[in-house]
Structure 1
Amino acid sequence: MSTTPNRQALVIGASKGLGLVLVDELARRDWHVIATTRQDGGELRADADASNGRLTVESLEMNSPEQLAALRERLAGRRFDLLFVNGAIDRGNLSIDQVPTDMFTEVMITNALSPLRVLESLRDLVAPGGTVGVMSSEQGSISQNTEDGYELYKASKAALNQLMRSYATRYADDGHTKLLIDPGHNRTGLGGFDAPLDPKENIPAVVDVLEAQAGAPGLQFLDRHGEPVPW
């Protein structure tokens, strides 16, 4: 990842929650950021308007292959030091026998399939030596799944991690740093507003990890402190 003042980032899924705080922190550090949202306007657009050109907004429904292809076309010729995919849904604390098939499909597409489709579509926009990363979760760790609850969400994050491992194996020689990031349990719409971590205090540490790992080989699954998360 470049250390020049012209560092370029593309962040997928930044309209709210962790994604919104992440792009604001990158822009604060003088990255030039393109951030995507499913809906125009809102806090992300307001932050972009106040960013003095460091933050711009693109439209993307991540689950739409057509919209993803259109975004790829619009960004043709750009080069990014960081491509980071953020975006997940949770449909409640149901045991797997209570999960309807359409809910299972929705969560798996959003949390596992679509992030990897994004990487496949946009990876050639990442500069040599750049970083591709995805927001994962400690709940995707199979070895640490020792408490009841949120079985579908856990399964979707484990699937994401496995697909990212396959991606990293296929592109082992592309020179890109590859990261899965566990940001911890944050107070967001997804994490719940009684969660222990404040994103505005916590996400700067995540950005520290993204910057510190620039140029690292292979795939790593790291927490917000840069420590390995057990697979």
Structure 2
Amino acid sequence: MNDTRKTAVIIGASRALGLGLAAELLRRDWNVIGTVRGSRRTGLHDLAEASAGRLTVESVEMTDPEQLSALRDRLAQRALDLLFVNAAITRGDTPIGEVPTATFTEVMITNALSPMRVVEGLGPLVAPTGTIGVMSSDQGSIALNTEGGQDLYRASKSALNQLMRCYAARHADDTRTLLLMDPGWVRTELGGPDAELSVEESVPGVAETIERHQGKPGLHFLDYQGQAVPW
């Protein structure tokens, strides 16, 4: 019998929000391909073992173009309904004038350039009715930045948003849904222990928003409750 389940690729699914989204999509009867960095065992491997074959683990270093190209080759024969890029780093709350050049470069490559390389490279594998999404943040919103702080992280997410806007403009006739997702302030290593939401509180809303917007072409900047986020 043919498997009629939808298939998602989640880049950066070893822990926290990425792992939570993989588990949530499995609960919603998707097949999932999740990526990890390197060969170290992660929670994603445990989830795969309990998934009855519906979760596949791939290894890729997102910042390495050659590894991304190899991953594309491995996935070339798969029919994808969702490509979702969940990867970001922060390097502390330092005023931008004090940020070392190497740190600025590292954060921008990881948070903005590399996700877009994934979108450009793997996006063509997504079905015309599918969705391409990246994990953004309300900290990438210029309109909402009234308090400052987290200069470099904010700038990297704003850059990601702008680059997705460029992608959408270049592909104005694309029938796929493009999503910038704000998961809310979540208690992860990046969000910190004082954040408002647990992964379990954020992720179902992220998944619901992804599913509800399937078939709605164009670029949407939305939060985990499905509400529009100001740019």
**Could you state the TM-score of these two structures normalised by the residue count of structure 1?**
0.97
Superposition map of 1:23-42 within 5 A: 23-40=22-39, 41-42=41-42
What one-letter code is carried by the residue in structure 2 that aligns with 1:46?
D
Structure 2 residue ranges without an equivalent (≥5): none
Other-structure match for 1:131: 131
User: Which residue of 2 is the match for residue 122 of structure 1?
Assistant: 122
Give the aligned partner of residue 93 of structure 2.
93
Question: Shift in Å at residue 10 of structure 1?
Answer: 0.6
Q: Distance in 1 between matches of 2:76 and 2:183?
A: 30
Q: Which amino acid aligns with 1:223?
A: D
Identity %: 61
Moved over 2 A (4+): none
Q: CA offsets per residue over residues 8-40 of structure 1, 9 Å max, x none? A: 101101111100100010011110000001033
Deviation at 1:204, TM superposition (A): 0.4
2:87/2:111 contact within 8 Å kept? yes
Structure 1 spans left out of the alignment, 5+ residues? none
The Cα shift of 1:149 comes to: 1.0
Provide the C-alpha distance between the structure 1 equivalents of 2:57 and 2:107, rounded to a whole number of angstroms.
25
Paired residue for 1:77? 77
* Structure-1 separation of matches of 2:79 and 2:122: 10
SS in 1 for 2:134: strand
What are the within-5 Å matches in structure 2 for residues 46-57 of structure 1? Answer: 46-57=46-57
**Is 1:184 paired with 2:184?**
yes
The farther-off stretch of 91-100 and 190-199 is 190-199
* Contact 1:5 1:30 (8 Å CA) reproduced: no
Q: Is the Cα–Cα contact under 8 Å of residues 5 and 31 in structure 1 kept in the other structure? A: no
- 1:6 correspondence with 2:5: yes
Question: Offset of 1:5 from its aligned partner?
Answer: 4.6
Q: Aligned residues, how many?
A: 228
Distance in 2, matches of 1:174 and 1:56, equals 28
Residue equivalent to 1:15: 14
SS in 2 for 1:107: helix
Distance 1:200 1:118 in 2: 26
